[in-house]
Structure 1
Amino acid sequence: MTKAGSNEKDGLYEFIVKLADGTECRVFYNREPEWQLTNISRLQKTPCPVCRKDFICKCMDQFSGDIASQIEAGQWFDKALAQ
């Protein structure tokens, strides 16, 4: 997970997350009052691992809870912000 951008004044952050299967996603978080995933989208570098389409799809939305819990459990926020 790497930090792609932020608006620290409003507590908004954007990260690039590379999943185990090689898929890269852009995740958006709001830090106020605590870290909360607000949106997730797949980067168009490889076909979607769920529907195998090359265009924009919403398949990653159904896994946003799992991805968010793994990010929080691995304390990836601290690691990405320290870079």
Structure 2
Amino acid sequence: MPYRPQIKNVTKAGSNDKDGLYEFIVNLADGTDCRMFYSRNPEWKLTNVSRLGKTPCPICRKDFICKCMEKFSADFDNQMKEREWLSKAAAE
């Protein structure tokens, strides 16, 4: 069965409003946590996504840093925009 990440919750971890840079902690439905970086100028653009090392990777099962979540950056970006997570989290 192919892996399909589903965003459950988004929290703003930090921001640089002057430069339009934002950092979000994203909780997925399978219990995985990811860190996403967005640039807001001129529009929202995902610049980086990485898994936080709290649980093993659901794809490769490694317990250390891997780049598996980068393969799903388009899925993450679509979910963030469709469900308006960006505007909700940025307003915090």
SS of the residue corresponding to residue 86 of structure 2 reads helix
Residue 76 of structure 1: how far off its partner (Å):
0.4
TM-score (normalised: structure 1)? 0.97
Mapped to 2, the partners of 1:11 and 1:32 lie a distance apart of 6
Task: Tell me whether 1:27 sits opposite 2:36 in the alignment.
Answer: yes
Map of 1:5 onto structure 2: 14
SS of corresponding position for 1:33:
coil
Moved over 2 A (4+): none
The residue identity in structure 1 corresponding to 2:47 is T
Q: Distance in 1 between matches of 2:69 and 2:86?
A: 20
Equivalent AA in structure 2 for residue 57 of structure 1: C
SS in structure 1 of the partner of residue 64 of structure 2:
coil
Identity of aligned residues (%): 69
CA shift for structure 1 position 77: 1.2
Aligned residues: 83
Determine the structure 2 residue equivalent to 1:79: 88
Aligned letter for 1:14? E
Runs of 5+ unmatched residues, structure 1:
none
Query: RMSD value over aligned CA atoms?
Result: 0.7
TM-score, with structure 2 as normaliser: 0.87
Structure 2: 5+ residue stretches without partners: 1-9
